């Protein structure tokens, strides 16, 4: 329905009136339908002040007005995410299929691949569901929600990736997608996360209480810092180590794109967490900080156990002990980004991961893709 296409409406002392310049003449009747009575009470049509925006519990600005943007970092992350668009089906799997069917991989190497497919295939869904069902509702800011919508689509693409890999390699979908029930090292990590989602989905949950605001921050730290920032990283190292040996390069390439996306997810999460802390300093108590440190330390042990489960005897260049150092190193980096003290001081045993994360040095995939998407977006209809 077209609403007041040529009629200026504004608000005056609680009564909706039509401006003088467009007032109907006495013999003209304004059809009722063009002046919708959407609100029973006061209608506030005052322009919004960006300074009044808040990340959570925003009472002054509705969530439908993107402009003016207050949190420029959220918009930057959104643009970066869009610039990195990719689809798993664009990555050829022919070489991977050839290697998987050959005897080039040892049983231990196959175990590493299978375990990581099993973990990621459902972890991506857990992140996507938590975003949409638990986080989105409570983030009361339009530019952050714009990013969350983009991230949710990326998580769907990541889940799609694992379906594509399972189908390409002819793996048992039942085996891969049930590891989060059946493999204890995976089930423990996922249980750690799923409990956080359940807390937010309690019908009585509200971010307006002190405990609720802390609970929400706990969920954000649990997903952005721990799940996407720690639990994903052993898997990145393991799968990308095959890529470095020119094995399973299709999956390796897909993991590179996922890693690139996850780097942005992590950075957005850190900005969101630090932003909520800054706006609600009372919830960032010493006791709460210690609880978050303890949770990160608990997660580190779960992740080390996961790496050992994937590598019971080790494979070329990788063993469980190296992952103790790596996971601790990664956890320290995450802690310091949200203003918590480092706990371990361990060195990074895989310095090549830093180079891998800077994909632009090695690949022009995204430049190619951006060009192609732009051209397909400008289709000629002749
Ligand atoms: Fe993801
Ligand atoms: Fe993610």
Chain segment 356-379, per-residue pLDDT in tens: 776 543 444 444 444 344 334 444
Q: Give the chain's mean pLDDT.
A: 86
pLDDT at position 93: 97
Q: For residues 135 and 224, what is the distance between their CA atoms, to the nearest angstrom?
A: 11
What's the gap in Å between 244 CA and the centre of ligand 1? 22
* pLDDT digits 0-9 by tens, 12-54: 233 333 333 344 444 444 444 344 444 455 556 678 889 999 9
What's the gap in Å between 8 CA and the centre of ligand 2? 44
Count Cα atoms within 13 angstroms, Cβ side, for 105.
21
- Of the pLDDT bands very low, low, confident and very high (cuts 50, 70, 90), residue 299 is very high
What's the gap in Å between 159 CA and the centre of ligand 1? 7
* pLDDT digits 0-9 by tens, 308-321: 999 999 888 899 89
pLDDT at position 68: 93
Report residues near ion ligand 1: CB below 5 Å. 124, 155, 158
Q: Where are the domains of the chain?
A: 9-46, 72-357
Q: For residues 42 and 110, what is the distance between their CA atoms, to the nearest angstrom?
A: 65
The number of the ligand nearest the C-alpha atom of 235 reads: 1
The catalytic residue positions are 164
What's the gap in Å between 296 CA and the centre of ligand 1? 20
How many CB atoms neighbour CB 345 within 10 A?
8
Closest CA to 107 of 252, 311, 255, 319: 311
The number of the ligand nearest the C-alpha atom of 269 reads: 2
What element of type H or E holds 12?
Answer: strand 9-12
Q: Where is pLDDT greater, at 268 or 63? A: 268
72-357 fold: Ribonucleotide Reductase, subunit A (1.10.620)
The number of the ligand nearest the C-alpha atom of 267 reads: 2
The number of the ligand nearest the C-alpha atom of 257 reads: 1
What's the gap in Å between 54 CA and the centre of ligand 1? 26
Closest CA to 226 of 183, 197, 255, 199: 197
**pLDDT of residue 114 exceeding 90:** yes
pLDDT at position 218: 98
* pLDDT digits 0-9 by tens, 139-184: 999 999 999 999 999 999 999 999 999 999 999 999 999 999 999 9
What's the gap in Å between 69 CA and the centre of ligand 2? 24
In this prediction the pTM is: 0.84
pLDDT at position 6: 30
């Amino acid at each position: 329905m077209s609403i007041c296409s040529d009629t200026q409406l504004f608000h005056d002392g609680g009564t909706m009136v039509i401006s003088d310049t467009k007032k109907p003449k006495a013999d003209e009747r304004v059809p009722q339908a063009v002046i919708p009575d959407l609100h029973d009470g006061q209608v506030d049509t005052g322009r919004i002040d960006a300074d009044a925006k808040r990340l959570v519990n925003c009472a002054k600005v509705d969530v439908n007005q993107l402009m003016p943007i207050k949190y420029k970092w959220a918009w930057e992350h959104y643009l970066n995410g869009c610039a990195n668009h990719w689809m798993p089906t664009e990555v050829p799997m022919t070489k991977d299929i050839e290697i998987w069917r050959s005897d080039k991989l040892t049983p231990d190497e196959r175990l590493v691949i299978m375990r990581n497919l099993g973990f990621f295939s459902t972890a991506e869904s857990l992140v996507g569901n938590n975003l949409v069902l638990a986080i989105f509702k409570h983030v009361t800011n339009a530019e952050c929600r714009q990013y969350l919508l983009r991230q949710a689509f990326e998580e769907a693409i990541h889940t799609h990736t694992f379906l594509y890999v399972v189908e390409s390699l002819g793996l048992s979908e039942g085996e891969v997608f049930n590891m989060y029930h059946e493999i204890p090292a995976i089930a423990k990590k996922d249980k750690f996360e799923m409990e956080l989602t359940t807390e937010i989905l309690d019908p009585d949950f509200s971010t307006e209480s002190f405990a609720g605001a802390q609970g929400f921050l706990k969920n954000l730290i649990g997903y952005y810092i721990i799940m996407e920032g720690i639990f994903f990283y052993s898997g990145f190292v393991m799968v990308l180590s095959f890529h470095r040996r020119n094995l399973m390069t299709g999956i390796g390439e897909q993991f590179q794109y996922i890693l690139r996306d996850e780097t942005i997810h992590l950075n957005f999460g850190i900005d969101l967490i630090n932003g909520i802390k800054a706006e609600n300093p009372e919830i960032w108590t010493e006791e709460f900080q210690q609880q978050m440190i303890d949770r990160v330390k608990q997660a580190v042990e779960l992740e080390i156990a996961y790496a050992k489960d994937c590598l019971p005897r080790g494979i070329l260049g990788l063993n469980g002990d190296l992952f103790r150092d790596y996971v601790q190193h990664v956890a320290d980096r995450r802690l310091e980004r949200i203003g918590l003290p480092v706990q371990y001081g361990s060195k990074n045993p895989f310095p090549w991961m830093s180079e891998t994360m800077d994909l632009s040095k090695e690949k022009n995939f995204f430049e190619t893709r951006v060009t192609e998407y732009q051209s397909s977006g400008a289709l000629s209809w002749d």
